[in-house]
Structure 1
Amino acid sequence: MGIEATQRTRGHVAGNAEDAMAALRARAMEWELAVSETAQGVILDLRGSRVVMRPIGPETETGTETKAETGARTGLGIEITAPDDRYLRAAQDSVTEALAECGLEIGWDDVAAGALAPGLSIGVAISCRQSAPGFLRLRVGLADASRFASTGLHFRLLIPPRDREPLWPRIGATARVDWPRGADALHRAVYTVADLGADWIDIDIFDHPGSPTCDWARGIVPGAPVGIMGPGGGWLPEGDPLLLFGDETALPAILRILRLSEAPARAWVTASPGDLAALGADRRVTRSGDLLEALDAADPGPGGFVWFAARDEIAREARRRLTARGLPRERFLAVAYWR
């Protein structure tokens, strides 16, 4: 992974380096990240950042530190490099959390304590309208909306409680993000950018009963603060052909992928004709009453990529079937968009 390392931080886990290394390897497995071992150390490539781990002690060097500088320290040295502060702090939070869950603490050279959580911008609600029978379109004013144009399909929408001054997540003293709790807890849901301008983004929200986001959006007061955290979820999948499968909740993501991807693509969707909107006129799109059946009939060929998003149990079954067919893990993505 080529990372322009303009930002860097280092940390030290005292004590048993093997325990700390095992904790981070386990987290890498959960995230389905490759782990490589080089003369530089054990490397984890996160999204937008690189984590290098290396046991340290009186007779070793770590990073640019020598024996004289480390003194008698032992344990695990960790270095994170990233192209910008957002990726750096996000990786720092993830590493600190993974170690804390195993009862391990890491001392960082620097922590941006008090800063907003990595990737968080505070916007304002502008409007909400019914864009299709099953969808609401929310517009949020956001000064730095342009950063969502090319670095991630998804983001997290943070909605503060009504009639309370919002408290936003901030970086704590240990580098972990502190989220407001109790009466100040934020509703957090993941969405896809439907459209954007220089200072606004549009969000298509699947309209269904019992949704806190839908209830909030219908009653928004223009100018009300809202948090936008991201982008995340990876960028456009790559493959020739690109095969997309999704239910109603995946329509915004499928629409965005088809608009932006230059690869040959086809999509199978489970949705009513009215909710298809722009997808309804796209010859690459086929309505399907059974996504798993459509998946079984599709052939990605030697260079294709399969992208599948639906309810959790359907996504799990899609993952099982693709694995059983022998499709390499790097050539498909099957994710749950709802439960």
Structure 2
Amino acid sequence: MAHLRTYRSTGLIAQSSGAAIAALKARAAAWDVPLTETHEELTMSVWGCELRLVPHVDGMSVDLSAPEERLIGNLRDSATEIFAEVGLDIAWDRVDAGALAPGLSLMRVLRVTRPSPGFVRVRIAAPDAARFTEGSMHFRLLLPPKGREPVWPRVQPTGRVGWPEGPDSLHRAVYTVADHGPGWLDFDIFRHDRSPTCDWVNGDPTGQTVAIIGPGGGGIPTAARVHLFGDQTALPAIRRILSEAPGQVTATIRCASADLGDTASDPRVAVSDDLTAALSTTAIAPTEFVWFAASADEARAARKHLQSRGHDKKDMTVAAYWS
């Protein structure tokens, strides 16, 4: 039987401190993630990883374990920040200072196409493209300001990731993997005004090098019954879920008919101009999963409505795709 590899890292805090314990408890509560406390250690579980805080006579150890190397890097970054907020430094066993941020890949733009009036499709390629197609559906596209050479985020000696600031600050928009093949992946950009990504793609970036970081932001719902609600910005994610979800799925979409393409003929799909009204009139059992993505105002209304119906938060994903 094959065994999954576990990646580990350990850091030391020079003094035993109740502040460290309080900081970890506060972060677990803020993130709403499991926290287990015994006489010997405090363990936070997040992203399929574990962070264990273990007191010793002369200090505390911070022990990390994760199923992926990039997740160890992300957890190290977060742990360093959590304890730095209460004035505690961590001496890590190993830090690859100067390396690109965990989960960041440099990709080459292969081509730009126009699949429908409202969307542009971009194909990017790199040897590790396949890892963005597993687990979560989304990634962040990192774009430097127009006219500036990119400065990518890199690991600092402390274990934190240093992100460029000021004139080198990166635009960090989230996109969904729409299609993929050996060494490449596609993502769709909804065309709209005042968008740095749209300005970038309108300049024909074919051949350019871009950075993406992830994956993250949630995966394909696996519930037996899934209800999707989303506007045109959510269309790429809805298409992906309709294609890959193992359960019974229906979708209600607000989108121009010309952009729906083959999705318009899918019998599982309905079109509505009012997503919150459609949500409120849809019969949804307490154990069925609800996925909702649209504007921030609509997301707030959807979350409030589902909470008023007693829908458990583990059975819903409500996201603001734009403000």
- State the TM-score, normalizing by the size of structure 1: 0.89
Answer yes or no: is the 8 Å Cα contact 1:9–1:109 preserved in 2: yes
Shift of 1:116: 0.8
Answer yes or no: is the 8 Å Cα contact 2:222–2:246 preserved in 1: no
Partner of 2:11: 11
Shift of 1:302: 4.3
Per the alignment, in what secondary structure is the counterpart of residue 110 of structure 1?
A: coil
CA change 1:14–1:318 in 2 (3 A) is farther
Aligned pair 1:333/2:317, yes or no? yes
Name the CA distance, whole Å, in 2 between partners of 1:133 and 1:145: 27
Name the CA distance, whole Å, in 2 between partners of 1:333 and 1:90: 23
Partner of 1:62: none
Partner of 1:249: 233
Partner of 2:63: 79
Aligned pair 1:298/2:297, yes or no? no
1:222-272: CA deviations, max 9, x gaps? 221100111111221222211111111111111101111111011111111
Q: How does 1:94-173 map to 2 (within 5 A)?
A: 94-173=78-157
Identify which of 160, 174, 179 aligns with 1:190.
174
Aligned pair 1:178/2:162, yes or no? yes
Name the CA distance, whole Å, in 2 between partners of 1:221 and 1:259: 29
Aligned pair 1:45/2:16, yes or no? no
Answer yes or no: is the 8 Å Cα contact 2:286–2:310 preserved in 1: no
Give aligned-pair identity as a percent.
44
Shift of 1:147: 1.0
CA change 1:316–1:29 in 2 (3 A) is farther
1:58-81: CA deviations, max 9, x gaps? 2xxxxxxxxxxxxxx13x422110
Aligned pair 1:214/2:198, yes or no? yes
Aligned pair 1:57/2:56, yes or no? yes
Name the CA distance, whole Å, in 1 between partners of 2:99 and 2:241: 33
Name the CA distance, whole Å, in 1 between partners of 2:11 and 2:224: 42
1:35-69: CA deviations, max 9, x gaps? 22346632222113211123x132xxxxxxxxxxx
Counterpart amino acid of residue 79 in structure 1? D
Per the alignment, in what secondary structure is the counterpart of residue 136 of structure 1?
A: strand
Deviates more, 1:110-119 or 1:294-303: 294-303
Shift of 1:192: 0.4
Name the CA distance, whole Å, in 1 between partners of 2:183 and 2:5: 28
Name the CA distance, whole Å, in 1 between partners of 2:198 and 2:69: 33
Contiguous gaps of at least 5 residues in structure 1: 59-72
Answer yes or no: is the 8 Å Cα contact 1:144–1:198 preserved in 2: no
Shift of 1:132: 1.4
Partner of 2:27: 27
Answer yes or no: is the 8 Å Cα contact 1:240–1:303 preserved in 2: no
Name the CA distance, whole Å, in 1 between partners of 2:121 and 2:36: 43
Shift of 1:16: 5.4
Answer yes or no: is the 8 Å Cα contact 1:36–1:42 preserved in 2: yes
Per the alignment, in what secondary structure is the counterpart of residue 153 of structure 1?
A: strand
CA-atom RMSD in angstroms: 1.8
Residues paired across the two proteins, number: 321
Name the CA distance, whole Å, in 2 between partners of 1:200 and 1:118: 20
Per the alignment, in what secondary structure is the counterpart of residue 321 of structure 2?
A: strand
Contiguous gaps of at least 5 residues in structure 2: none
1:168-203: CA deviations, max 9, x gaps? 111111111111222222211110001111121111
Counterpart amino acid of residue 187 in structure 1? H
Answer yes or no: is the 8 Å Cα contact 1:126–1:139 preserved in 2: yes
Aligned pair 1:284/2:283, yes or no? no
Per the alignment, in what secondary structure is the counterpart of residue 122 of structure 1?
A: strand
